[in-house]
């Protein structure tokens, strides 16, 4: 992974695990490896991406806003499907995924294992769920982070004393 060969091959990466187990930390480490090799890389939380896309639609700048996420060879999507997207948000996600396919790599950081993504995207009630997954699962590596001893392991935030923006 550190060689970034997966990026040249336009392979996606799924990093899944519980809160605080280091998904974002690992994704950022992979992102830093890419940056060290002069590979254009961008990190965004899915909630922030969806807000930006909604605002861009309202101001008539959707295409321009979306291009920002199409340009990087490596896009890191944090908090992937943490909350179920609504119909408009599913369209934005599908648009992004479709246009990045076979052109670049995306790292998806999620608390949900990939087997649960279909339901998180709306399942049988949302025809885009299958379309989105079809475009990302067939060419992806999955890294599942699991605690070796859940009773003794501590959160990465506790290890590094990281505070979130909304914490005091």
71-98: per-residue pLDDT in tens? Answer: 999 999 999 999 999 999 999 999 999 9
What is 5-160's CATH topology?
A: Rossmann fold (3.40.50)
Per DSSP, helices labelled H in 60-155 are: 62-70, 87-100, 117-120, 127-136
Pairing of the two strands 12-16 and 140-144: parallel
Residues 136-145 pLDDT 10s: 998 899 999 9
- Distance between CA atoms of 107 and 27, rounded to whole angstroms? 7
Cite the beta strand spans of the chain per DSSP E: 12-16, 41-45, 74-78, 105-110, 140-144
Residues in the chain, overall count: 168
- Distance between CA atoms of 49 and 131, rounded to whole angstroms? 19
- Distance between CA atoms of 6 and 11, rounded to whole angstroms? 5
Residues 54-65 pLDDT 10s: 999 999 999 999
- Distance between CA atoms of 113 and 109, rounded to whole angstroms? 10
- The pLDDT assigned to 139 comes to 86
Domains of the chain, residue spans: 5-160
- The pLDDT assigned to 2 comes to 87
Cα angle at 27 between 24 and 28, to 5 degrees? 85
């Amino acid at each position: 992974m550190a060689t970034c060969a997966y990026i040249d091959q336009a392979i996606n990466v799924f990093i899944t695990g519980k809160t605080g187990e280091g998904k974002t930390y690992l994704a950022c480490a992979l992102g830093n490896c890419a940056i060290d090799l002069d590979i254009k890389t961008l990190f965004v939380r899915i909630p922030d991406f969806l807000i930006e896309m909604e605002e861009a639609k309202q101001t008539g700048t959707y295409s321009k806003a979306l291009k920002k996420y199409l340009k990087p060879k490596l896009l890191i999507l944090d908090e992937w499907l943490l909350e179920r997207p609504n119909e408009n948000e599913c369209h934005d996600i599908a648009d992004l995924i479709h246009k990045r396919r076979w052109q670049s790599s995306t790292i998806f950081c999620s608390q949900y294992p990939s087997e649960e993504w279909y339901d998180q995207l709306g399942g049988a009630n949302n025809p885009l769920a299958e379309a989105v997954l079809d475009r990302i699962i067939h060419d992806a590596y999955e890294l599942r982070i699991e605690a070796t001893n859940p009773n003794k392991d501590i959160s990465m935030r506790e290890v590094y004393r990281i505070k979130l923006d909304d914490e005091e």
